[in-house]
Chains A and B, each alone.
Chain A
Amino acid sequence: VHVRIDPNKCQGHTLCAIAAPSVFHLREDDGHAFVSDAEVSPDLESAVLDGAETCPERAIEVTP
């Protein structure tokens, strides 16, 4: 699956990193999330979907 974080929406709640810590990384200066690889292996799909679902800012988009 393909995952994208909108940096203008993310406010650093860090909840996505609870869902999928190997996918959602947190920036060192403010804790806002980023992904180092937008392509995520299928075994992490449900964790990544949880990450998108738990984001209060709706900043994460997951597409097939």
Chain B
Amino acid sequence: LTGSRLTTGLDQHSAEYAQHGLEIEADLRQRCPVSWSSNHGGFWAIASHSTLSQTLRDRDLCSSRKEFDENGARGGLMIPSNTGYRMVPDETDPPEWQDYRAILNPPFAPPAIPKLEPKIQAITSEVINAVIERGTVDLVRGIASPVTAITTLEILDLPFEDWKFYAETIHKTPYDGRNPVVKAGVAAIYAKIRRTVSERKVSPGNGLIDYLIRARVGGEPFPDNIIGDMIYQLLVGGFDTTGALLANAFWYLDDHRDEHKRLITDEKFLQTATEEFLRWGSPVIALGRTAKVEMELQGQRIEAGERMWMMYRSANHDPEVFENPEQVDLSRFPNRHVGFGMGIHRCPGSKLARAVFRAVVRQVLARMPDFAIDREESRRYPALPTVNGFITLPARFTPGPTVDSGFASGLPL
């Protein structure tokens, strides 16, 4: 078998990776699509579409499970492992994964989305109403973040006025999850979730929280801690990733004005464009796994228990699968991207994310067609290990009129 490990020293948390991630990934794909890094406790970087596919398609090869002991956390989706929360079902394995996923799939399945669309439209209209007369907006804090947050709270049936309380922490966990301030924020979210769940057991509402409380597996309800972990997962999944997808699309559309008109008039084009933004912008750059068994991959021997870093964006830019991967082609199709992950943990909210993305893109392009981003003042997340997000995208546009959104008293923006 192999002698020594191919070691590259990838540091996904570094400022250098945040700045030059695409070049670093291209180099890894070309030289060694499977390589070892001793950073962050040691992990294998899995950088090509084919090596990622081989490992994620087989549910017996890799574990997503996170466990806690007196030393902190082991496993899960982050490298190094984050303490203080566990996302369910993302940080679980079969067979228990199956119980959670069976409950979580129907509320996000195809028939559920058309029922949510009028609400998504209304939230988007009202969020844009709040800025449309001003002529300036932060496309992240003023549009992408409130629309995705309030849509998530609407689905869960949680009070809209808490959106900033959740958003402030959730946007920081991907790049600063071990910071004590962020950890305290996560603890505060969990405390609020626990309070809400016990209140809702007494006086039920009409949302996904209540659906999770009513759910039964083999006649038994989920324990409260599992309900809490599922709600935390839904908050994280709903708040941050769709916002990152929107931000990257705005960044591109800002200097590709010739594509705007077709995006709002040609439904099929908007559909392929959505998939291309998912590929090119890869809202989730990478996530971790743990090898369940010893395996040989690209001549490297991975031992059971070793961490693996699944580089989705790198796979999405792999020239073996995508012609001219660095070029955005909004008509690109077929498009075998892994923007929603791959294998059994493929994002269950993917259809909702696409619906929110389209609603926001349509309205921004229709209502502020000349928006121009101040690229000097724009800021990406300072580190980009997982979520490919922006902190701020300030923009100017010609002010326009408000529209009837259906929200009589506005939204707590």
Contact = CB atoms under 8 A, between A and B. Distances in A.
Interface in B90-129: 105-106, 108-111
B340 A31 contact: no
B333 A11 contact: no
B334 interface: yes
B105 A29 contact: yes
B319 interface: no
Main DSSP-derived SS at the B contact region = loop
Contacts of A1: none
Nearest to B52: A56
Contact of A18 (B57, B272, B342, B346): B272
B352 to A, nearest CB: 11
A39 B269 CA distance: 28
A28 B111 CA distance: 6
Given A53-B336, A54-B335, A14 B110 contact: yes
Given A18-B275, A29-B106, A30-B106, A53 B346 contact: no
A3 interface: no
B230 to A, nearest CB: 16
Given A9-B57, A11-B343, A18-B271, A27 B109 contact: yes
Given A11-B346, A14-B351, A56-B342, A28 B110 contact: yes
A50 B333 contact: yes
Q: How large is the interface on A (under 10, 10 to 19, 20 to 34, 35 or more residues)?
A: 20 to 34
Contact of A54 (B53, B336, B340): B336
Interface residues of B, number: 25
Contacts of A54: 333-336
B277 to A, nearest CB: 14
Contact of B105 (A13, A30, A50): A30
A51 B333 CA distance: 9
B346 A13 contact: yes
A28 B271 contact: no
A29 B271 CA distance: 22
Contacts of A9: 57
Interface in A1-38: 9, 11-15, 18-19, 26-31
A15 B109 contact: no
Given A29-B106, A50-B333, 13 more contacts: A13-B340, A13-B346, A15-B335, A18-B272, A19-B333, A28-B110, A30-B105, A31-B108, A31-B109, A51-B334, A54-B336, A56-B337, A57-B57
Interface of A: 9, 11-15, 18-19, 26-31, 50-51, 53-58
